[in-house]
Amino acid sequence: MKTRLTELFGIEHPIIQGGMHYVGFAELAAAVSNAGGLGIITGLTQRTPELLAAEIARCRAMTDRPFGVNLTFLPTVNAPDYPGYVRAIIEGGVGIVETAGNNPAPWLPALHAAGVRVIHKCTSVKHALKAEAIGCDAVSVDGFECGGHPGESDIPNFILLPRAADELSIPFAASGGMADGRSLVAALSFGADAINLGTRFIATREAPVHDNVKQAIVNASELDTRLIMRPLRNTERVMNNAAVERLLAKEKELGDRLRFEDIIAEVAGVYPRIMQQGEMDAGAWSCGMVAGLIHDIPSVGELIDRIMAEAESIIGQRLRRLVEA
C-alpha cells in the first residue's frame, strides 16, 4: 500500500509507532520497522544525548530499515540538552524525527540540512497549518481520543481528520483511536496518509514494558481513561488508577487554585516504576481510549500483518461489494 508518507519515509506500510515515554526503546522501534512500519525511539527517555546515541546504534544493529526518533520540546526552565540530542540524531544517521510539544522551528534548519524529515505532532488544524508554514515535512494529527496530550480543543478524529485534509498540503498521519485495519481504512478515507499507533503497540510482545501494563490495557474498556491537568491547560489522557483518582480529587478540591506542585507526586518520575517495575498505582500514565479495542498481546509483526490484511479485505471486498451492489 503506497501513500505519500510511505513514499516520504521509505516504508512498506502506512503504520507509524509514535514516541512513548519509557516504551519507545530500540527493541520496539526495530520490531516495527522490521515489520514494514516506522519505529520510533523516544529521545527524552534517554537521559543524555550520549545515551540516545547508544540507543540509536543499538536500534541500527537490530534493523536495516528506516526508523525515527521522537524529540519532545518541553516548556521548562531547565531544558534538556536539545542541541546535544539533535547532534546525536544527525550523527547517528537517523533520517526521520517526530517532534512534539513546543514549536520545533529553531531546530528545523539543522535537521533539514542533514536530510532529516520532520513530522510534528499537532492536536488542531491551526497548529498543523503552523507546522506546515514553518517547513515541517508532515504532521501527525492527534484527535481527542488519543493517549497522552490531546490539546485543549477536544475535537475527535471524525471531525479533525477531514478538516486537516481540507486545509493541509503536506501529508499527515492520523493518531488517536487507531488499533486495526478498520482504523487504517477510516483514516485513509478521511484523507490521512498513515496511522500512528501508541497504546496499541504497548500491548505487543516486543514492547519492553512490564506485563502488568500490557494486561491493564487488555483488561480495560474505552471507559477506563481519565483526563487530568485540565485546570492547568496541560490536559493528559491517562489510564484510571488509584493515583489518578487522588489527583482528580485534588483538582476538584483546589479548583482554579491548583498548581503543578500540588500533583507532582502523581505525575513526576513515575514512568520507570510503572513501565519497568509494574507498579500500576504509582502514578498517572498515558493511555488512549483505544484500549477498548485491544484484546490481545500479539507480536509486532503479527499485529502489522493483521492490520494490513484486514484493511485490504475491507477495501477489496466489503467496500467493493457495497459499491457494486
pLDDT in tens, 268-304: 999 999 999 999 999 999 999 999 999 999 999 999 9
DSSP string, 8-49: HHT-SSSEEE---TTT--HHHHHHHHHTTSBEEEEGGGSSSH
**pLDDT tens digits for range 298-324:** 999 999 999 999 999 999 999 999 999
Is residue 197 included in any domain, yes or no? Answer: yes
Q: Is 141 a domain residue?
A: yes
Looking at the domain assignment, is residue 315 inside a domain? no
Once rounded to an integer, what is the mean pLDDT over residues 109-129? Answer: 98
Judged against a pLDDT cut of 90, whether residue 78 lies above it is answered with no
Contacts of 322 (CB under 8 A, 6+ apart): none
Nearest of 235, 237, 210, 203 to residue 223 by alpha carbon: 237
25 within some domain: yes
Residue 118 has pLDDT above 70, yes or no: yes
pLDDT tens-digit readout, 193-205: 999 999 999 999 9
Confirm whether 52 is domain-assigned. Answer: yes
CATH code of the domain in which 54 resides: 3.20.20.70
Render pLDDT for 5-15 as a digit per residue (tens, 0 to 9).
999 999 999 99
pLDDT band at residue 74 using 50, 70 and 90 as cut-offs: confident
In a domain, 64, yes or no: yes
Q: What percent of the chain has pLDDT over 70?
A: 100
Q: Decide if pLDDT at 103 tops 90.
A: yes
Q: What is the pLDDT of residue 77?
A: 67
Q: What is the pLDDT of residue 75?
A: 75
How many domains does one find in the chain? Answer: 1
Mean of all residue pLDDT scores within the chain = 97
Residue 282 lies in a domain: no
Which pLDDT score, from 0 to 100, does residue 53 have? 98
Classify residue 274: in a domain, yes or no: no
Mean pLDDT of 34-53: 98
Structural domain that includes position 45 = 4-205
Model confidence at 325: pLDDT above 80 = no
pLDDT tens-digit series, residues 222-233: 999 999 999 999
23 class by beta-carbon count within 10 Å (0-12 exposed, 13-18 middle, 19+ buried) = buried
